[in-house]
Amino acid sequence: MGDAVTPTNTRFSGQIAVVTGGASGIGSAVARRLASHGAIVAMFDRDEAQLQATRDALSDEGLSVGATRVDITSEESVVAGIDAVLAEHGRLDIMVNCAGVVGPTNTKILEYDSAQFDQVCNVNLRGSFLMTKHAIKPMVQQDYGRILLYASIAGKEGNPGMCGYSTSKSAVLGLVKAIGKEYAETGVTVNGIAPAVIRTPMVEAADPAMVTYMTDRIPMKRTGSLDEAADMTAFIVSRECSFCTGAIFDLSGGRATY
C-alpha cells in the first residue's frame, strides 16, 4: 500500500469516518487514505484477526484508526458498531461501505447454489442497506454527512457466470439512487461507485478465467489500483463533492457505457 504516511493533509480534519471491509483490499486502502487526510477512522470487518493486523500497521504509520468486529449482515452488530463510534466521538461524518463478497464465479445459473446466492445478496445488498440505514440517522441530525456504497460495473452490465454478484451489485445501484433522493434536501449525500476489476484479495481468489474476461473488456487493458479507488473515494466523500447525490461514479478504465 505504499510508504508510511503521516496525516499532514487536513482535508478531513475533525471528521469521523466508518469504513467497512477495512481488514484488507479497498477497505483498508480507503481507511488509510481518509486517515492520512486527517480523519479519525473506525474500520469495521468480521475478520477480526486481519482487522487488528491492519489497524496495527496503520497505527504504526501515525494514523488515527480503530478496529471493531462488525458483521454487516447483522442489524444488531451494525447498530452496536455505529453506537460505539457515536459514544466515543459524538458524531459520524463519513460512511464508506466497501465490504462485499464475490460468491461463485464462472458458474451458470443452473449450477449456482441457491444458498450461495442468498449469502452473496445478504452481504452485498443487505449489508449496504443496514450500514446506510444506521449511519444516516446521526448525519441527518447534524445536517451533514457523506455515504458511499461500493457497487460494481457488474451491477451495470452483468457478468456471465456471476449472477449472484451481478444481481446484488445492481440492487446496490438502486439503493443509492433511492436513498440519495430521499435525503437530497439535507446536508447528507448518498452516492455509489462502480469499479471494474481492482486488484484486491477478493479478485485474486476469483476464477482466473473470469478475471481475464473482465480485464479484457476494459479499454485500458489493465486492472485498477487500490490507490485509484482510494483517490476517487476521497473526492466523493469530501466537502467539495456537494452537488452530487444518488449518483454512480464509474471507475472502469473506459468499460462503462452508461
- Which of 112, 144, 165, 183 is labelled catalytic? 165
* Among 236, 64, 256, 71, CA closest to 149: 236
Strands annotated E in the chain: 16-20, 40-45, 65-69, 94-97, 145-150, 188-195, 248-251
State the CB neighbour count (10 A cutoff) for residue 240: 11
Q: What SS3 state is found at 199?
A: coil
> Could you give phi then psi for residue 42, rounded to 5 degrees?
-105, 115
Measured between alpha carbons, how far is 188 from 244 in angstroms, rounded to an integer?
A: 10
* 165 in catalytic set: yes
The residue length of the chain stands at 258
Contact 98, 147 (CB under 8 A): no
* Among 167, 222, 176, CA closest to 198: 222
Measured between alpha carbons, how far is 102 from 169 in angstroms, rounded to an integer?
A: 10
Measured between alpha carbons, how far is 241 from 208 in angstroms, rounded to an integer?
A: 36
Measured between alpha carbons, how far is 250 from 49 in angstroms, rounded to an integer?
A: 32
Catalytic machinery residues: 165
